[in-house]
């Protein structure tokens, strides 16, 4: 079985490396992760039951996938896609830059923080709104700050390819359902792991309440993650819901220096208690059972071929492909890295409810998430 997914062409047999093509000869994360049913280790109790159509439990420090169900299945991500928006834009935007959102962004449907078209918001504020209260309007405003919606979607999809999240296709910065938009439990775990390596990302997902700017003063916003402050070690990440995607959640918790990631997708109802039990199971079996797969590191950056007739030191023309072969190209930037999540991801050098009712306006509602 290969990882040639719908809409993603296989890697070229020759020519320069091209970021965005999954390997055609293996399943990302290990062959067992091609399964659609429960994938669990032997010698330990089975993971707790969940109503989610797909899930994944992983050790963020080592990358070990501890258990999963349909980990590469394609599902609508709802607002869990905002994790990719954040991981893409945090390195690109100055968090102190002041933004004036457009009327289009302010009028976005679904969950919103209540933006107005005035220059009163910093990128820092919009990132908080994005990850704490799932502001679709904040996602749109951040996309505008990055140049345009089209440019931001291109950046998001390129970032997904760089992380080897080949199941993911972003068609919106906010996760509202769009034709062809998709992700998988495996990809959301990769994206969350990359986010956990960013201090600002960790700050945003773990903030319980914050003051948010208004034309006259501010109002308080509160994090949607119901496990913050209730589950021991909960760091946060992101939940989502749409009528088509159903419930989804990416969560991370840290105990005794170890971080466990849990992802669920396409859940028909309340999932918080189930997520807590899945996290408990992850902490219990971590280091005791053989992994069923692994969270891979970022893809190596393509190395351009040297110009025709390029001359090496000593006056000898460089042979074709010399630049691609130099330095052992193809090694994952995660190899040899310390087990800490931040060291693992940052080593890749990647460039690339709520108190809002106090101020937010009524807007047309297509229910986005809880």
Catalytic residues: 79, 82, 134
Reference 251, options 268, 226, 270; nearest CA is 226
**What distance in Å separates the CA atoms of residue 178 and residue 368, rounded to the nearest whole number?**
13
Integer-rounded Cα Rg, in Å, for the chain is 21
Q: Is 94 exposed, middle or buried (0-12, 13-18, 19+ CB in 10 A)?
A: exposed
Binding residues: 238
Between the CA of residue 324 and those of 13, 114, 161, 258, 301, what are the distances in Å? 14, 49, 19, 37, 10
Cα torsion at 145, 149, 155, 158 (round to 10°)?
A: 170
Reference 261, options 193, 194, 327; nearest CA is 193
Binding residues for substrate: 238
Cβ atoms within 10 A of the Cβ of 17, count? 17
Q: How far does the chain reach from its first CA to its final CA, in angstroms?
A: 37
Q: Mention every residue, 6+ apart, whose C-beta is less than 8 A from residue 144.
A: 99, 101, 102, 105
Q: What is 30-66 written as a DSSP string?
A: -GGGG-SSEE--SSSPPPPP-S-SEEEEEETTT-EEE
Q: What is 99-164 written as a DSSP string?
A: E---HHHHT-SSS-----SSS-EEHHHHHHHHHHS--HHHHHHHHHHTT-HHHHHHHHHHHHHHTT
Q: Let me know how many helices (H) and strands (E) the chain has, helices first.
A: 10, 11
Reference 82, options 226, 236, 291, 290; nearest CA is 236
Retrieve residue 355's tokens: 């108190």
């Amino acid at each position: 079985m290969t990882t040639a997914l719908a809409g993603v062409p296989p890697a070229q047999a020759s020519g320069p490396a091209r970021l965005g093509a999954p390997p055609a000869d293996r399943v990302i994360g290990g062959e067992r992760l091609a399964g659609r049913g429960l994938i669990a280790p032997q010698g330990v109790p089975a993971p707790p039951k969940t109503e989610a159509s797909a899930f994944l439990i992983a050790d963020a420090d080592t990358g070990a996938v501890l258990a999963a169900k349909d980990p590469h299945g394609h599902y609508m991500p709802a607002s869990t896609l905002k994790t990719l928006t954040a991981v893409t834009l945090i390195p690109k935007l100055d968090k102190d830059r002041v933004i004036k959102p457009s009327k289009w962004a302010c009028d976005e449907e679904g969950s919103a923080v209540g933006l107005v078209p005035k220059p009163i918001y910093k990128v820092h504020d919009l990132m908080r709104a994005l990850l704490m209260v799932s502001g679709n309007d904040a996602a749109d405003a951040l996309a505008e700050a990055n140049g345009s919606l089209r440019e931001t979607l291109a950046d998001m999809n390129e970032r997904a390819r760089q992380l080897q999240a080949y199941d993911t296709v972003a068609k919106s910065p906010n996760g509202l359902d769009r034709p062809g938009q998709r992700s998988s439990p495996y990809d959301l775990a990769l994206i969350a792991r990359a986010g956990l390596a960013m201090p600002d990302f960790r700050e945003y997902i773990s903030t319980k309440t914050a003051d948010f700017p208004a034309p006259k003063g501010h109002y308080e916003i509160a994090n949607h993650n119901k496990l913050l402050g209730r589950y021991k070690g909960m760091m946060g990440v992101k939940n989502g819901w749409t009528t088509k995607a159903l419930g989804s959640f990416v969560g991370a918790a840290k105990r005794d220096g170890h971080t466990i990631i849990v992802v669920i997708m396409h859940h028909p109802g309340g999932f918080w208690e189930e997520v807590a039990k899945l996290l408990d199971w992850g902490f219990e079996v971590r280091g005791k059972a053989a992994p069923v797969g692994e969270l891979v590191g970022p893809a190596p950056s393509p190395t351009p071929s040297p110009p025709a007739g390029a001359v090496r030191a000593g006056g000898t023309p460089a042979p074709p492909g010399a630049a691609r072969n130099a330095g052992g190209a193809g090694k994952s930037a995660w190899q040899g890295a310390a087990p800490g999540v931040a060291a693992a991801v940052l080593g890749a050098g990647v460039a690339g409810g709520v108190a809002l009712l106090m101020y937010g306006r009524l807007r047309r509602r297509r229910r986005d998430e809880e």
